[in-house]
Structure formats: C-alpha cells, structure tokens
Structure 1
Amino acid sequence: MSEDLQSLLDRIQKDGVDKAETRAAEIIAAAESKAKNIVSEAQAEAKRLVEKADQDSTSFAERGKKSIEQAGRDVVLTVENAVTEAFERILAAKVKDSLTGDVLKEMLGRIVEAYCTKDGSEHIQALVNPADEAALKEFMLSTFAESMNKGLVIKGDSDVISGLKVSLVNADVHHDFSADAITEALCHLLRPQLTAIMKGAGSASSKG
C-alpha cells in the first residue's frame, strides 16, 4: 500500500514538474517571440528615422543651396540696379550741364538752318527754359534775324529744365531736345553696354 502511494506521489510530482517545465518553455518562447518583435519593430523604426533624417538633411541642403543661389542673384541684381541708377543720375547731370549757353545756340541755329526755307514756309516754335530765353532771343536776332522775322518764335517754358523743344507748326512735327529726352535716349543706347560690362565683371570676380 505504501508503495502504491509513493508511486502515486512520484507520478503527481513528475506530472507537476513536466507541466511546470512545459509552461516555463511556453513562457520563455512567448517572451523570446515578443522580444524579437520588439527588436524588429525598433530596428524598423530606427531605419525609418534614419531614412527620414537623410531625406530631411538632403532637402535642407537643397533648400539651403537654392536660397544661397537666389540670394546671390538678388545681390547681383541689386548691385546692377544701383550701378545703373547711379550711371543714369550722373549722365542726366552731365547732359543738363552741357545744354547751356553756346551749345543751345548752336543747336537752335542748326535747326533753323535745316527747317527755315527762304520763302518762310516753315514756322518754328522753340520752347526753352525761361532762364535761357533772353540770351537765345538775342543770339537769334543777331545771327538769324531773317528767320526770326519769318516766324521763328522762342518762348520760355518752365517745364523745360534744360535743352529745348522744337515744333514745326505747319508740318505738325515735334522734336524734343530737352535734357530729359536726350538722357533717356542715351540711357537706352548705353544701358545694354553697361549691363554687359557689369556681367563681365561679375563673371571675372566669380572665377577669381
């Protein structure tokens, strides 16, 4: 009887140990599987973050490069505009200073010679700055008295800062020889050359 009891106890103990070992193995297997999943997910997340960081850094570098290039273009345009404006101011001042005294007399004299016919068919009206009116009238009366008598009219006009504006009354023809008009024409003529010079200087400095 005692042997049967001992055998039963041994069997119970063995079954308990077997079940415990099986359960332990299941727990360990589950833990290992979960650990593998966690590691796999962590690795995937780390890879995603690295790839995103690479993309962000590339995008940032590209944006930075584009920003620098745009800033460079803006600086070049700003310098070109500043130089062009300074050039036009200097040119305007030079033209204005030149269109006085003997130059105006010569200009008006050549216009009269070109348009005033012997029969007086062309009537010329010249608009000048009021400050130049008296001197030009005196000059024209002493040099082109016949033309003055045939219809040459010299009038002061405060809108003419420097230079003169000429109208052929009969032919409805107008010529603007004011400082503003001459400056504008010269700027239109010289601006492409000035731009080419500045671009050439910019290319040389960038290579250096």
Structure 2
Amino acid sequence: MADELQALLDRIDEEGLKKAEAKQSALLTQAQKEAEAIVAEAREQAAKIVAEAGREAELLEQKSEQALRQAARDVLLGVRAELAGRVQQAVGVLLRESLDTKGVAAIIAQLCEAYLKSQGEQDNIEVLLGAEQFTALESAVKAQLADDLQKHCVLTPA
C-alpha cells in the first residue's frame, strides 16, 4: 500500500507539475504577445515622432530661408540708400566746389527755359536761395535770362 500511495503521490505531483508548466507556458506566451504589441506600438509612435520632427525641420528650414532672403533684401536696401546718400552728398560737394556764380546762373536759366517750353502750366517759377546765394546769383541769372523769362522767373531769398 505504501507503494500505491507513493505512486499516487508521484502522479499527483506529476500532474501538478504538468499543470504548472502549462500555466507557465501560457503566461510566457501571453507575456511575449504583450511585449510584441508594446514594441509594435513603440515603433509606431517612434515613426510618428520621426515624421513630425521631419515636418518641423522642413518648416524651420523654410522659415530660415525666408528670414535669410528678407535680411539680404534689407541689407541691399540699406546699401542702396547709403550709396544714394553718399553719391548725393559727393555731387553736392562737387557742385559747390566746381560751379561758380555764372555756372549756377546758367543752369537756373536753362532749367527755367526748359520748364516753360515743355510744361509751362505755371506762369512764374520761384527759386528759393540762401541770402548769400541770392545776392550773388540775382544779377547773374537776370543777365542769363532773356527779357521774356525775366518776367516769369523770380529769385526769392529763403
């Protein structure tokens, strides 16, 4: 009877082991499936994150290029304005240094004649001059202008 009892105990023990192994195998299979699902979800999220980062990088690159073009445009406009100012200043200095009273008077006379011939909508032309220039140019301009133009062109001190 002891042998039978031992055989019964061995069989119960063996069945318990088989049940435990089956349960363990089922749990292991379930854990592997869950792990695979987690890995698949993580890969999907990683792909989404990479795609979003790519879109953001492209957008940032476009904005950077646009800002760079705007900055280049601003620099060119600044350079253009600076050059125009310097040229205007240089021309002004050159004119002041190189033109005498007779030269300026001749220019004013030619401007008045050209204006009256081409656009003459106004009867009179008034040229504003500084006090020194007025005194120096008044007689020279009047000498340059014909009698008809003297009636229509007036020099006035500023």
TM-score surpassing 0.5? yes
2:77 is aligned to 81
Deviations 1:87-128 (A, max 9, x none): 32134225534375344312332326975xxxxxx5554322
One-letter amino acid matched to 1:42: V
Q: Which residue number in structure 2 is paired with residue 38 of structure 1?
A: 35
Change in 2 beyond 3 A, CA 1:29/1:136? same
Q: In 2 relative to 1, CA 90–38 (structure 1 residues): closer, same or farther, beyond 3 Å?
A: same
1:127 aligns with 2:124: no
- Classify the secondary structure of the residue corresponding to 1:25: helix
Paired residues of 1:124 and 1:153 also in contact (CA < 8 A): yes
Contact kept in structure 2, 1:137 and 1:154, CA below 8 Å: yes
1:44 partner amino acid: E
Q: Which moved more, 1:81-90 or 1:102-111?
A: 102-111
Q: Deviations over 1:4-23 (max 9, x none)?
A: x5434422431232133112
Unaligned runs of 5+ in 1: 116-121, 158-208
Structure 2 residue aligned with 1:181: none
Are 1:128 and 1:155, in contact at CA under 8 Å, matched by a contact in 2? yes
The structural deviation recorded for 1:45 is 0.8
Q: CA RMSD in A?
A: 3.4
Q: How many pairs align?
A: 147
Q: Distance in 2 between matches of 1:153 and 1:123?
A: 7
Residues of 2 paired with 1:26 and 1:9: CA distance? 25
TM-score, with structure 2 as normaliser: 0.67
Moved more, 44-53 or 143-152: 143-152
| 1:156 correspondence with 2:127 | no
The 5 Å alignment of 1:139-178 reads 139-144=140-145, 150=151, 153-157=154-158
TM-score (norm 1): 0.54
1:76 partner letter = A
Counterpart selection for 1:18 from 15, 20, 26: 15
Alignment of 1:47-66 (within 5 A): 47-60=44-57, 62-66=58-62
**In the alignment, what sits opposite 2:68?**
72
CA distance in 1, matches of 2:134, 2:16: 126
Which runs of 5 or more structure 2 residues have no equivalent in the other structure? 117-122
- How big is the shift at 1:54? 4.4
Counterparts in 2 of 1:161-200, with a 5 A limit? none
Kept in 1: contact 2:128–2:156 (CA 8 A):
yes
Q: Residue in 1 aligned with 2:107? A: 107
Per-residue deviation at 1:80?
1.6
Q: How far has the Cα of 1:50 moved from its partner? A: 4.2
